[in-house]
Every structure is written in C-alpha cells, then in structure tokens.
C-alpha cells in the first residue's frame, strides 16, 4: 500500500482564522484510492519550517500533497520552497500566462503584475490546470517520491483534484480498488446500532464501522479488491445483512441525506407535502428545498411561531391551545390538518416543540410533537432529543425527526 502525507501551508490556519477542510477532503479521497494517509501537518508561511516539514514527510512516505501558498503575494512560498528542496527549476509558461490574463479579462479587470509568478512552473514537472482560479497545481517526481502542490481555496483544490489529480494518482499509485457503502439510519443510537451488528465489527474485508453524527448513526462497509465489481461482490451480502438487522431505522444506502430520501420518495409516489413549523421555524422547509427539484413535491410551508398565528393561518382552535398548550399532540394534529387544508397538498406535516434555552409550559427543551395529516387521517408522534441545553442541536434533530416521520409515513402507504 502506498503511503501519503498532507501538508497545509498558511499562517491563517495556525491563527485559527479558517477551518482546514482540505485535509478532510483529501484524506477521504485518498482512502478511496487505497492510499494510506499517515500524517497531516500544518505550517505557516515560513520557508524553513515548510522545508523541514516536507523533508520529514518525504522520509516517511511515498507521496506528499501540499495545499496553499500558491497565490500571487510575497508570502506565498510553497512552489519556490518545494522546487528548491527537490532541485526543480522554475520557468515561465506563456500559455499559462495567457490563461491567467484571460481569467482577469473575463471579470472585466486587468491582471496585476503580482500574478505573473503564478505562470512559473517547474521545467520538468506535471502541471495541473486550475479551472476555478489562477494558480496552477503541479507534481514533482524524484527518486521514487512524488510531491503534489495544490491551491489552498477549497473549491479550486477539489476541482483540480477531481479533474487532474485523481486520474494522475490512479494511474501511478492506486493499489487495487476500495469501495465503501454507507447504511444510514435515524432513530437508533450509535451504541444500540453497534450492538445489533456486534459480531460483524471484526471483519477485515469488508470492514464494518459505525459512526454517529448530529442525531443520526451510520454504518460504513468498506471492501478492497482488484476491481470495482469484485469489491461490490464482497460488499453486497454484508450490506444486505446489516440493512436487514437495522430494519425500519434505515433511511437509505449511500443516500445523501434524509431530505434527499424524502424528496425521492415523494417523487416516486407523486405526492406533495406542506409543512407547518413552530420550533424549527423553516428548518424543515429549508432542508427539503436544498434538493434540486424539490419544487415538484413542495409548494408551501408556514412558520407559525406565535399561538395567534397558529390560530389565524392554520385554524388551530384556541381551546386546544388553552387546554393542551402549543407543544402537544393535539396542537400538532391540528397544525398538520391546517397546513394540508391551506395548501391543498397530499400530506400536511407539522412540528411544534421547545428548542430551548429554558423549558416552556412545564415541558423540557428538546421535546416536540410531529403531526402528519394525509387522506387516511391524522396522527402525531412525541419526540425528545434528550438535550436540554443545545438550541441548535434541538432544532436540527427535531427537523430530522419530522423528515423521518414523513419518510416512514410515505413508506407505509
């Protein structure tokens, strides 16, 4: 197995001004190619420390990928330091120069003189075109080691990786094929999930690993083989066994998100949904409409934050609010019925709860009721996130629960 190290260059990372998403992106992509990442390092815009880091990494690993420090200013030093350390000479490339000038022209401006140095590339290296910006990337190969330089801005870096670097690595370093599948669940905790598949967690190929994230749990199954087909053949029985054991909690395999699953199900069954939200206040609608094409299954939502608006816009009865409170099964039912009537949608979905901080009506933060009204009738479910002091978590996980209740309802039709 080939080994790789990552080196992020930029004083702004050491000051904590920006989050290093490049390291995660590259690590994940390299794992998928079967290349092991042994170390991630970050140094500032300091030539000596960068040279030391690169030397140490080259001693340990086959490949070093650096991100950042390819910009036009004086403190962008990555290319110069790497070429000097490895003995590559920089020459100005006229065609890159023209494409950088064109980049500025398209934006109605003139290329500043400082950008000239971005057209300098190693005389004998591989150059990767930057389709999203001006700094080209490059690969310097020497003595069986490979140093790859990529721009720091995540969108430029990931586009360059996709278009140029992955094929480059696949061609020279990919060591078999690694394929992963993710079984995504909502409503079961990570440890309860792991218990159901405890006997499968020790497998070596495929490997089975549980993860938890923001109220959801997933199992990643990863196989390595000579070809993608062979890897999929190893995965298939394990994935179906796990899916069977986790049953109703599984909302998708390799699905992007709960909202993607719900949009797909609504499209399949040719249904439209409408939302009436209180504590989540637009979060469910916002998440559903993240998915391109959501307009085919979603016409409208109503955010009724106050009791008065629940009465006025959704027709919730004042008596219900008085007797049971806004956070109750009864109110959730009437909100779902109200939004279905107002919108003319096939399914009305409601959310009413306590996001916190502070409990209301003697109800704890994190408690909510989700209502569903379809042509078969109306029901509501009670839900608790179990966290009293995390408003954003409660709002997010409650909106996930609403999507999951809707998913289960559509599946039951």
Q: Residue 128 Cβ, how far from a copy of itself at the closest point, in Å?
A: 21
Per DSSP bridges, beta strands 63-67 and 367-374 are: unpaired
Cα 235 to Cα 227: distance, rounded to the nearest angstrom: 13
Cβ nearer to a copy of itself, comparing 248 with 318:
318
Asked if 19 interacts with a copy of itself (CB under 8 A), we say: yes
Structure tokens at 144: 């069986």
Least CB distance to a copy of itself at residue 261 (A): 18
Q: Long-range contact list for 356-362, CB < 8 A, 24+ apart?
A: 356/388, 356/389, 356/390, 356/391, 356/394, 357/389, 357/391, 359/388, 360/327, 361/325, 361/326, 361/327
Residue 53 near a copy of itself by CB under 8 A: yes
Q: How many CB atoms lie within 10 A of CB 350?
A: 35
Q: With respect to a copy of itself, which residue has the nearer C-beta, 97 or 309?
A: 309
**Residue from the set 73, 131, 189, 305 that interacts with a copy of itself by CB under 8 A:** 305
Is 185 a binding residue for a copy of itself by CB under 8 A? The answer is no
Are the C-beta atoms of 278 and 335 separated by less than 8 Å? Answer: yes
Q: What residues numbered 235-294 form the site for a copy of itself, per CB under 8 A?
A: 275, 277, 280-286, 288-290, 292, 294
Q: Give how far the C-alpha of residue 309 lies from the chain's centroid of Cα atoms, to the nearest Å.
A: 35
C-alpha–C-alpha distance, residues 355 and 155, integer Å: 34
166 contributes a contact to a copy of itself by CB under 8 A = no
- Shortest approach of a copy of itself to residue 35 CB, angstroms? 11
Regarding 232 and contact with a copy of itself (CB under 8 A), the answer is no
Q: Determine the Cα–Cα distance for residues 313 and 63; give it in Å rounded to an integer.
A: 61
From 309, 311, 359, 381, residue interacting with a copy of itself (rule: CB under 8 A):
309
Regarding 174 and contact with a copy of itself (CB under 8 A), the answer is no
Binding of a copy of itself by 3 (CB under 8 A) = no
Beta pairing partners, 179: 223
Owner of token pair 């990643």: 220
Q: Is 27 in the site for a copy of itself (CB under 8 A)?
A: yes
Helix (H, G, I), strand (E, B) or coil at 174: coil
320 by DSSP, 3-state: which?
Answer: helix
Query: How many residues bind a copy of itself, per CB under 8 A?
Result: 68
Q: Which of 88, 128, 298, 409 binds a copy of itself (CB under 8 A)?
A: 298
First to last CA, the chain: 49
Exactly one of 68, 151, 252, 301 binds a copy of itself (CB under 8 A); which one?
301
Q: CA-CA distance, 131 to 159, in Å (whole number)? A: 7
Single out the segment in contact with a copy of itself by CB under 8 A; choices: 79-87, 119-127, 238-246, 295-303.
295-303
Q: Among 86, 174, 271, 303, which residue interacts with a copy of itself (rule: CB under 8 A)? A: 303
Q: Is 319 helix (H, G, I), strand (E, B) or coil?
A: helix
Token output for 37: 């990442």
Choices 29-37, 82-90, 144-152, 261-269 (CB under 8 A): range interacting with a copy of itself = 29-37
Give yes or no for residue 353 binding a copy of itself (CB under 8 A): no
Contact residues: a copy of itself, CB under 8 A: 8, 13-21, 23-31, 36-44, 49, 53, 56, 211, 220, 275, 277, 280-286, 288-290, 292, 294-295, 298-306, 308-309, 312-313, 342-343, 355, 357, 391-392, 395
């Amino acid at each position: 197995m080939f080994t790789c190290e990552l080196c992020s260059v930029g004083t702004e990372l050491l000051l904590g001004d920006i989050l290093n998403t490049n390291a995660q992106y590259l690590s994940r992509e390299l794992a998928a190619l079967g290349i092991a990442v042994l170390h991630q390092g970050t140094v500032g815009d300091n030539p000596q420390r960068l040279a030391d880091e690169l030397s140490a990494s080259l001693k340990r690993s086959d490949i070093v990928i650096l991100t950042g420090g390819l910009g036009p200013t004086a403190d962008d030093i990555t290319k110069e330091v790497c070429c000097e350390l490895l003995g590559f000479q920089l020459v100005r490339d006229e065609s890159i120069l023209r494409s950088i000038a064109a980049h500025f022209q398209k934006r109605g401006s003139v290329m500043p003189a400082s950008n000239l140095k971005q057209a300098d590339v190693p005389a004998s290296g591989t150059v990767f075109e930057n389709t999203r910006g001006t700094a080209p990337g490059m690969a310097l190969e020497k003595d069986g080691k490979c140093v790859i330089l990529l721009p720091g801005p995540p969108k430029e870096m990931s586009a360059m990786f996709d278009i140029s670097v992955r094929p480059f690595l696949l061609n020279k370093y990919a060591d078999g094929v690694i394929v992963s599948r993710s079984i995504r669940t909502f409503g079961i905790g990570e440890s309860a999930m792991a218990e159901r598949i405890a006997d499968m967690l020790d497998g070596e190929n495929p490997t089975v690993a549980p993860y938890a994230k923001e109220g959801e749990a997933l199992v990643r199954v990863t196989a390595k083989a000579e070809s993608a087909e062979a890897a999929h053949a190893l995965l298939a029985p394990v994935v179906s066994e796990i899916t069977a054991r986790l049953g109703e909690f599984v909302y998708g395999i390799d699905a992007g998100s709960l909202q993607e699953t719900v949009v797909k199900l609504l499209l399949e069954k040719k249904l439209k949904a409408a939302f009436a939200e209180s504590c989540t206040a637009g979060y469910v609608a916002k998440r559903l409409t993240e998915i391109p094409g959501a307009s085919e299954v979603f016409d409208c939502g109503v955010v009724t934050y106050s009791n008065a608006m629940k009465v006025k816009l959704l027709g919730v009865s004042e008596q219900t609010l008085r007797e049971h409170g806004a956070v109750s099964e009864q109110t959730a039912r009437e909100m779902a019925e109200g939004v279905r009537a107002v919108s003319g949608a096939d399914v009305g979905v409601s959310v009413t709860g306590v996001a916190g901080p502070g409990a209301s009506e003697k109800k704890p933060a994190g408690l909510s009721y989700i209502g569903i009204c379809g042509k078969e009738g109306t029901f509501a479910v009670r839900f608790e996130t179990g966290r009293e002091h995390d408003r954003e978590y409660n709002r997010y996980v409650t909106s996930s629960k609403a999507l999951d209740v809707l998913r289960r309802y559509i599946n039951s039709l």
